[in-house]
């Protein structure tokens, strides 16, 4: 009898430990519903490319419990639910991406303004060099060409950053069902 009791206890302990460390798979369907399974073969084929694999921790960790406010019933309060896009990226990820492009835009605009100023100064210098040797004038003309190329490159960067902020990021947010306000940078 002792042996059977001992085997049952050992079996129960081994079973409980084997439950931890298992893999769990998560995906989001077209309706935005999040699904979980421990068997990858149960994930529909069209969602296979977006599956997130999670390992259950070896030891159970205590998670903070959210006490619902009175009168709301079993639902969690909205502030406790973090919204995510189809790939599981939250507001912070989208805001960081938008801020990155906003910084690129600001830098490109400053660089473009500096290139325009330098070009105008060089053109003025060439205008004032009418009576200087032709070799000096050719040198200034070559410098002007370099500055024009630099100015055009900065203009392209400004246009690219504007396009990302005004069109590409909002379209991507829409495609991945992220809140459109997450990509607005004022």
35, part of any domain: yes
Within this chain, do residues 178 and 101 fall inside the same structural domain, yes or no?
yes
Q: Same domain for 126 and 47? A: no
> Is residue 3 domain-resident?
no
What residues contact residue 50 under an 8 Å CB cut-off, 6+ apart?
27, 28, 86, 87
Residues 96 and 149 occupy one common structural domain? yes
Q: With 70 as the cut, is the pLDDT of residue 84 above it?
A: yes
Looking at per-residue confidence, does 23 or 64 come out higher? 23
Whether residue 101 sits in one domain with residue 50: no
The listed range with the strongest mean pLDDT (17-21, 27-31, 51-55) is 27-31
Number of domains making up the chain: 2
Percentage of the chain modeled with pLDDT above 70: 75
Task: Provide the pLDDT for residue 153.
Answer: 95
Return d(Cα 143, Cα 164) in angstroms, integer.
32
Q: On the CB side of 59, how many CA atoms lie within 13 Å of its CA?
A: 2
- 62 has pLDDT over 80: no
Q: Quick one: which of 21, 58, 16 has its CA closest to 38?
A: 21
State the DSSP code for 75.
S
pLDDT at 66 over 60: no
- Tell me what pLDDT residue 37 has: 78
Do 120 and 164 belong to one domain?
A: yes
Residue 67 lies in a domain: no
Instruction: Read off the pLDDT of residues 120-166 as tens digits, 9 standing for 90 and up.
Output: 999 999 999 988 999 999 999 999 999 999 999 999 999 999 998 88
The model's pTM is 0.53
CA end-to-end span of the chain: 74
Q: How confident is the model over 53-68, as a mean pLDDT?
A: 53
Domain boundaries, position 40 = 20-58
Tell me, yes or no, whether 49 and 125 share the same domain. no
The answer to whether position 9 is within a domain reads: no
Model confidence at 48, in pLDDT bands (50, 70, 90)?
Answer: confident
Q: Tell me how far apart the alpha carbons of residues 113 and 129 are, in angstroms, rounded to a whole number.
A: 24
Exposure on the CB side of residue 86, measured as CA atoms within 13 A: 13
Entry field: residues in the chain: 186
Give the CB-side neighbour count of residue 2, counting CA atoms within 13 A: 0
Q: How far is CA 148 from the centre of its chain?
A: 34
CB-based contact 68:77 (threshold 8 Å): yes
């Amino acid at each position: 009898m002792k042996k059977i009791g001992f085997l049952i206890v050992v079996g129960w302990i081994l079973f409980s430990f084997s439950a931890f460390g298992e893999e769990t798979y998560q995906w989001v369907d077209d309706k935005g519903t999040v699904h979980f399974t421990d068997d990858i073969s149960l994930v529909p084929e069209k969602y296979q490319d977006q599956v997130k694999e999670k390992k259950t921790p070896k030891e159970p960790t205590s998670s903070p419990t959210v006490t619902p406010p009175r009168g709301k019933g079993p639902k969690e309060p909205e502030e406790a639910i973090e919204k995510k896009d189809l790939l599981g990226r939250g507001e912070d990820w989208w805001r960081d991406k938008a801020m990155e492009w906003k910084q690129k835009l600001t830098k490109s605009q400053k660089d473009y303004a500096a290139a325009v100023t330098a070009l105008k100064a060089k053109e003025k210098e060439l205008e004032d060099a009418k009576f200087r040797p032709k070799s000096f004038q050719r040198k200034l003309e070559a410098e002007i060409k370099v500055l024009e190329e630099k100015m055009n490159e900065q203009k392209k960067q400004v246009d690219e950053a504007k396009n990302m902020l005004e069109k590409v990021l909002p379209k991507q947010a829409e495609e991945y069902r992220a809140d459109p306000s997450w990509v607005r940078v004022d």
